[in-house]
Amino acid sequence: MDVTEATFQTEVIERSKSVPVVVDFWAEWCGPCRSLGPVLERAVAERAGKVELVKVDTDSNQQLARAFNIQGIPAVKAFRNGEVVAEFVGAQPPPAVATFLDGLFPNEADELVSLGDEASLRAALELEPSRPDAVLALARLLHGRGDVDEAARLLARVPGNFAADGLLARIELEAAGVPDLSAAFAALDSTDAERGLDLLLEALPTSDGAKDRIRRTIVGVLDELGAESELARASRRRLAAALY
């Protein structure tokens, strides 16, 4: 399917929310484009229904080419949920194209994590023992029912993960019991992140020896809110002011 600037939003951005869409940026005069095109078409046909292929003529759609920083062709970009998730430039042999396409589909561990129950999460960790999203989800389940020792052991598998370190810091704070942060944690558990963060930030000035663990807990919450969250941005500024 040929896509233009007028149809790109519908045929690529919106469509990619249902199925991965691979965009082949090409031009008629480009020899490598003509050799890559049939390879892409065959590979996509072999995965019928799992991925879609569209083509964008960069000569006729120069605004799109600029928007996606196309500096050489053929350029292939894969979209999922409206975002570019994988890409390559230049003609590639069939095995490389097949590997590229297969990387767009959920693997067994992905599917197990998406189920979210304890048995599925444990099975995912059998396949990928240090997979952060599986570790964090299972640790939350364990923490919620009071199995804090196992939760802490799991969280130690993913050093450097802010969300995991934040939950581990919370477990340490709950074990210490000082200061009393139960209201803050109850707010976080009820998905009232704003109140939970307010209470944690208010506790920082008088927290003495617990300050670093409160900071780590806050950073974990901010990490889960994401960089685009206005609450996260405002709370990050308050955290910096409280610490420095």
Active site (catalytic) residues: 30, 33
The whole-angstrom separation of Cα 114 and Cα 112 is 5
Q: Which residue from 177, 220, 180, 178 is spatially nearest to 197, judged by alpha carbons?
A: 220
For residue 50, what are its two tokens? 């799992």
> Dihedral (C-alpha) 9, 15, 21, 25: value to the nearest 10 degrees?
-20
Residue recorded with tokens 């003609």? 91
Burial grade of 145 (CB within 10 A; 0-12, 13-18, 19 or more): exposed
